[in-house]
Amino acid sequence: MEFNESLMSERSDTDLTLTTVDEHRQRMTLHCEECNTVLGDSHGVCGEVTCLDSIMCMRVTNDVILSDEMESGHKGEMAKCIYSALKCRGCHCAVGMVIHSAPSRLAVIRSVYLLHKANISCYILNSSSMVKASTLKFDLKPLKESIHEMRHQFQIKYDKMAVIKSRLEDK
């Protein structure tokens, strides 16, 4: 499973501003809402699960503790799921979960760290500001769109190189 080109959008009542994390090099760290312990960063983020209001992460810091106990969900989106809680090492507050077994509709998020947005703050490095994760939206850019964009960028570079080559041949 590969997740590239995460999108981040800031939500407001009037406007949605979309920025590509990789494109604009907007970096952030994910912190525990209670004690500000760093739990992860934008390099590990691979999307969002809106039905669970969670950020999907492929990796987190050692300050995220995976509970040995497995729990089972009985209602809502977590019905028929088996998962383990994620806790902050600093304050022992619950910060998310890892789903071990789930119905096919949730198959894509099995074995992925899910950080509950309500328990997470984000420090945006470029603007040196701390914001609640619930005010941000993390989406995945479709793979086909990424490939088309990359092909377009290669074509632009190729055209520039062709112009430079023709100028060198003229001299």
CATH number at residue 118: 2.170.150.20
- Cβ 110 vs Cβ 98: under 8 Å: no
Is 121 a residue whose pLDDT tops 80? Answer: yes
Domain hosting residue 148, numbered range: 142-171
Task: State whether 61 and 10 are in the same domain.
Answer: yes
Task: State whether 62 and 112 are in the same domain.
Answer: yes
Nearest to 105 by CA among 77, 64, 82, 130: 77
Is 161 a residue whose pLDDT tops 80? Answer: yes
pTM beyond 0.75, yes or no: no
pLDDT at 146: 66
pLDDT at 109: 86
In a domain? residue 102:
yes
Q: Is 105 helix (H, G, I), strand (E, B) or coil?
A: helix
What's the domain count of the chain?
2
Side-chain half-sphere of 35: how many Cα atoms within 13 Å?
Answer: 14
Task: State whether 40 and 64 are in the same domain.
Answer: yes
In a domain? residue 1:
no
- Cβ 3 vs Cβ 47: under 8 Å: yes
Phi, psi of 8 (to 5 degrees): -125, 135
Task: State whether 24 and 69 are in the same domain.
Answer: yes
Task: State whether 104 and 120 are in the same domain.
Answer: yes
Average pLDDT over residues 48-53: 89
Task: State whether 79 and 159 are in the same domain.
Answer: no
Task: State whether 131 and 108 are in the same domain.
Answer: yes
Q: What mean pLDDT, rounded, does the chain reach?
A: 81
pLDDT, greater one: 144 or 37: 37
Instruction: Count the Cβ atoms, other than its own, within 10 Å of residue 158.
Output: 10
Q: How far is CA 54 from CA 16, 34, 117, 118, in A?
A: 19, 17, 5, 8
Lowest mean pLDDT among 20-34, 38-52, 105-119: 20-34
pLDDT band at 23 (very low <50, low <70, confident <90, very high): very low
Task: State whether 123 and 42 are in the same domain.
Answer: yes
Task: State whether 88 and 159 are in the same domain.
Answer: no
Task: State whether 15 and 83 are in the same domain.
Answer: yes
pLDDT tens per residue, range 58-114: 999 999 999 999 999 888 888 889 999 999 999 999 999 999 998 888 888 889 999
pLDDT at 141: 59
Task: State whether 100 and 20 are in the same domain.
Answer: yes
In a domain? residue 77:
yes
